[in-house]
Chain A
Amino acid sequence: MMRTLRLLNGAHDLGQGRVFWSGLALLAVAFLAYPVVASSFTATNVAYYLLNIPMALGLSLLWGYGGVLSFGQVAFYGIAGYSYGIVAGNLQEFAWGTVAAAITALLAAGLSAAAFGYFVFYARVAAWIVPILTLVLALLLATFLGLTAGYQWRVGDVQLGGYNGMTGIPALQIGGVTFQDYAFFYLVVLVVAACYIALRVWVNAHRGQVLMAIREDVLRTELLGYDVRLEQLRAFVIASVLAGVSGVLYVQWGNYITPSAIGLQQAALPVIWVAVGGRDSLLAVAIATFLLNQLTYVLSSSGNQSALVIVGGLLVAVMMFAPEGIIVGVGRARWLRALKVRRWSAHPGHGE
């Protein structure tokens, strides 16, 4: 227990110590109390801004901590979303049908990522090939789902629906609770918090350290006795299951999913959230994901078509002028100064 807490407080994310965690706890309480003042409509919207955070955190793990870039996390988001819809739609009469659907969805995301990742990572390809192939995967999946219009494309009682997508997806139900409205909001808040905590422990634990070691120097890490391929594959599967978590939450939100949720434009968004926040900080990525989802939602729901131009421009600007990420840049600026003073005084003469 103490060990886990120490790992949670570890150095490989922004924010340590009592003040930070008190602040974060306060934030969590504020979120949990939010439904008291918000209508169920606004609470559901806020849940929508939050529900992509697991996917973004997964990409942060993969890219920021592991140095492996994927452009196709939405593929696993889609696989999970569609799988949930198929299973939940067919098991509607059963009490635990939707829970089984959620589990199946995450398994589907994880297994497809493992199969695809096996070919990519065990081939030890150059770094640029992974994002390209994952992007093509997402693109082809979206194209395929677009072709599934018509009565013949059905699984049991559920139609895949082609470009119009799958509709009427039943909401998750555990015991007597149906996760809609406020309950959905709480579900999202809790899942996001759980994902953050679990990942933060993970990156500070031994496996996370090995992942960062691979990012720094593949060959050195292999010569410390690690199977680099396996470690990368593991991170990819974790990231993809997290994308699946977001996918399952997403279909709860609107009770539908269309191929465009997996398309090329959607595929770019996780990369943008992660890059803008700062890819090697889970906290920064979570914050950026929340804010940018809000931004694009507000822009596009007001009929403004420039949302993509704006986030695209933001991405280019960040990559050019703040490659470590905006939120990380702001966060580190302050943290670092305190750290540096200590380090210099601890070891004069060898600072850099």
Chain B
Amino acid sequence: MASDVAKPVLCAEALSKRFGGVVASDRIDFSLRRGEMRCVIGPNGAGKSTFFGLLCGILRPDAGRVFLKGRDVTHLPAFRRVRMGLGLTFQTNRTFHALTVAENLETARRASARDAADDAHFRAAYAAFDLAGSARLLARELPHHQLQWLEICMALRRGPDVLLLDEPTAGMSPGETMFTADVLKMLSRDGLALIVVEHDVAFVRKVAETVTVLHQGAVFAEGPVEAVTQREDVRQIYLGRVREKAG
């Protein structure tokens, strides 16, 4: 069991992707342990979403490989990776707005629910986010933070081992953000591996042990939260970003 925890559940080798002249992913090496909670940070356009796209299979890499639970999935389509135990939420909320909350979750359910045991993460999150009361509402009638929670629950519905969340707390109030952090931490403690793209440093400090900093498509820094966020050069890129945003 102990060796199992140490084994990477998701792993990338020299992953690269260009869009025309833009190098969106530049030889990214990456490894995530079972049950690990990782934050990926980086300024706008750093290539975080592209990296997620490559991991989950909606983008094809120009070079490099992706391993999921020890298996080379570089050439597998996205839905196969999901069936193997990967879940993802998008940067912009992509729940089915015209369907009810219950239908959204029903759609996310595997057609033949054989083993109920592996949706423990889903049930925990569903209860924590308290969506049951809104089950009959149309998704578009939900407030924004609940929509985000709904999408997380959908991604958990099949009982994945790894969950990729692209800016899950964007647009949430500080209170909602911290609550979301608590729930994600709980899931992580229960054995779910997570990668979370996040800009909110308070959030990152709260949930992650290790952070990976992407910059111009490449891994710029990686290490313990405190150390990395203290680094001058990391602050520099982020300051750059803040200034860009302000100007």
CA distance A221 to B82 in the complex (A): 11
Of A213, A220, A223, chain B has the most CB atoms within 10 Å of the CB of: A223
Listed A/B pairs (28) with beta-carbon separation below 8 Å: A206-B111, A207-B111, A209-B103, A209-B107, A212-B99, A213-B96, A213-B99, A216-B96, A216-B97, A216-B98, A217-B94, A217-B96, A219-B58, A220-B94, A222-B79, A223-B56, A223-B79, A223-B87, A224-B108, A224-B158, A225-B79, A225-B82, A226-B79, A227-B77, A346-B137, A350-B137, A350-B142, A352-B141
Chain A residues with Cβ below 8 Å from B110 are 225
Contacting residues of chain B (67-98) with chain A, CB-CB under 8 angstroms:
77-79, 82-83, 87-88, 90, 94-98
Chain B residues with Cβ below 8 Å from A220 are 90, 94-96
Q: Number of A residues contacting the other chain (C-beta, 8 Å)?
A: 24
Chain B residues with Cβ below 8 Å from A347 are 134, 137, 141
Chain A residues with Cβ below 8 Å from B58 are 219, 222-223
Name B residues whose Cβ lies closer than 8 Å to a Cβ of A: 56, 58, 77-79, 82-83, 87-88, 90, 94-99, 103, 106-111, 134, 136-138, 140-143, 154-155, 157-158
Chain B residues with Cβ below 8 Å from A216 are 96-99
Asked if A228 is an interface residue, CB under 8 A from chain B, the answer is yes
Chain A residues with Cβ below 8 Å from B88 are 223
Chain B residues with Cβ below 8 Å from A209 are 99, 103, 106-107
**Nearest Cβ on chain B to A49's Cβ, whole angstroms:** 33
Chain B residues with Cβ below 8 Å from A212 are 96, 99
CA distance A237 to B50 in the complex (A): 35
Given contacts A220-B96, A227-B79, contact A343 B111 (CB under 8 A): no
Q: Are B106's CB and A206's CB within 8 A? A: yes
CA distance A164 to B16 in the complex (A): 61
**Nearest Cβ on chain B to A108's Cβ, whole angstroms:** 28
A227-246 vs B, CB cutoff 8 Å, 1 = contact: the mask equals 11000000000000000000
Q: Are A224's CB and B157's CB within 8 A? A: yes
Q: Are B96's CB and A343's CB within 8 A? A: no
CA distance A206 to B111 in the complex (A): 7
Partner of A223, one of B78, B103, B111, B141: B78
Contacting residues of chain A (190-209) with chain B, CB-CB under 8 angstroms:
206-207, 209
Chain B residues with Cβ below 8 Å from A156 are none
Chain A residues with Cβ below 8 Å from B87 are 223
Q: Are A343's CB and B94's CB within 8 A? A: no
Given contacts A223-B88, A224-B154, A224-B158, contact A213 B107 (CB under 8 A): yes
Given contacts A213-B96, A216-B98, A347-B134, contact A221 B107 (CB under 8 A): yes
